[in-house]
Structure 1
Amino acid sequence: MGGGDDGAQAGAVRLRPLLREDAARIHEWASQPTACRFQPWGPNSPAETEVFVDGAVAAWEQGPQMRWVWAAAAADTVVGIGEVQRKEVDAAEISYAVHIDLWGRGIATCIGRLLVAWALENLDVGRITATCDPRNVASEHVLRGLGMQLERTESHSLMLRDGWRDSYVFSLARREWSARMEE
């Protein structure tokens, strides 16, 4: 199943491997234009959500494992998802999504902390990266709150429904995370 523990917890939010039975809950937000307006996917049909979930579940069984997708749960209810992908020999990328009914409650920050901690504890990487659309101020706030630094802006990096999207690329070195955890 990949490196380390298959679950992590911060406050009321816990990460556990994504399950096929999570698809209906994920589809509640993956089908909403608001949830995907800064993403190259969506709004999803039920079949598209099933394909995503099936791929995420299958990733836990692949070797060598390069992708880990979790359900973020609070009180046994899926409130979001988190993902870690090994992108380079010494780097992993995190991403997350939160149910739109729960935005603004700090859940994305909790998921982000769990993802960074898991990646640095279980993968032999020295650097964590994440990207966001420059218009997605909430996600930028989450990434900065994790201690990530804006590294660069990639122009025309993704095609969205409304045209090309630029991407902010954020990064966090292991030493920066360790220093932050010691504070």
Structure 2
Amino acid sequence: MSSSTIYPSGPRLGLRDFDVNDIADVHEYTADPLVSQFSTWEPNALKQTTAFVEAAAQEHLDPDRTAFSLAAVLDGKAIGSVAIWITDPHDRNGELGYTFHRDYWGKGYSSEAVSMLLSFGFNSLGLERITATCHPENQGSVRVLEKSGFALEGRLRSHRRIRGQRRDSMLYSILRGEWSLA
């Protein structure tokens, strides 16, 4: 993938590489404890948000890029962070994730972004299987994944160490053939 990679767009959202002008928009939601409650990261200080956006903004410079941290943009504003990455190039497996500003929850933006990530993963990256995990109590994410055609594979016990404690994750997946039928 090159620095001129074209990402899918949806009826309302666009996906693009981050740039440093996104720091203030991103910090609005990464500093929110409600947004991070089910995440692997805690509410960000501005320094952490800046480091994240600056690192993500540099990804496009890697000609052998296998990870894509992208801004989900509505009317020029970054309202979410989405990502897709190749976990196993030989078996053509990948994983995706997403975080959105809470003002945009429950309005279909996460589902729209996941649809675009699936299109990019299957069509541009050539993946055959894409997974996603979420906290067992994150019903919003469960709904997004199921609405997007993901199947629940099971519960990963003591999967993550977060804030000093072990926690389970729910594992979801979708295969290329299932996505093309959705």
| Same structural fold, with TM-score higher than 0.5 when normalized by the shorter chain | yes
Equivalent residue, structure 2, for 1:167: 169
Equivalent residue, structure 2, for 1:154: 156
Does residue 177 in structure 1 map to residue 179 in structure 2?
yes
> What is the TM-score when the length of structure 2 is the normalising length?
0.93
Equivalent residue, structure 2, for 1:85: 85
What count of residue pairs does the alignment treat as equivalent? 180
Equivalent residue, structure 1, for 2:65: 65
Correspondence list, 1:128-143, <5 A? 128-143=130-145
Equivalent residue, structure 1, for 2:123: 121
- Counterpart amino acid of 1:23? I
- Counterpart amino acid of 1:104? G
- Counterpart amino acid of 1:29? Y
CA-based RMSD: 1.6
Structure 2 residue ranges without an equivalent (≥5)? none
Looking at structure 2, the residues matched to 79 and 15 of structure 1 have their Cα atoms a distance apart, in angstroms, of 11
Q: Greater CA deviation, 118-127 or 154-163?
A: 154-163
Map Cα deviations across residues 83-129 of structure 1 (whole Å, 9 max, x no partner): 11111121111111111111111110011000011111111210111
Looking at structure 1, the residues matched to 176 and 3 of structure 2 have their Cα atoms a distance apart, in angstroms, of 17
Does residue 19 in structure 1 map to residue 19 in structure 2?
yes
Q: Greater CA deviation, 50-59 or 133-142?
A: 50-59
- Counterpart amino acid of 2:45? S
Displacement of 1:166: 0.6
Looking at structure 1, the residues matched to 177 and 149 of structure 2 have their Cα atoms a distance apart, in angstroms, of 11
> What is the TM-score when the length of structure 1 is the normalising length?
0.92
Change (3 A) 1:112 1:3: farther
Correspondence list, 1:25-64, <5 A? 25-64=25-64
Provide the secondary structure at the position in 2 that maps to 1:8: coil
- Counterpart amino acid of 2:119? A
Structure 1 residue ranges without an equivalent (≥5)? none
Instruction: Indicate conservation of the 8 Å contact 1:131/1:170, yes or no.
Output: yes
Instruction: Indicate conservation of the 8 Å contact 2:8/2:119, yes or no.
Output: no
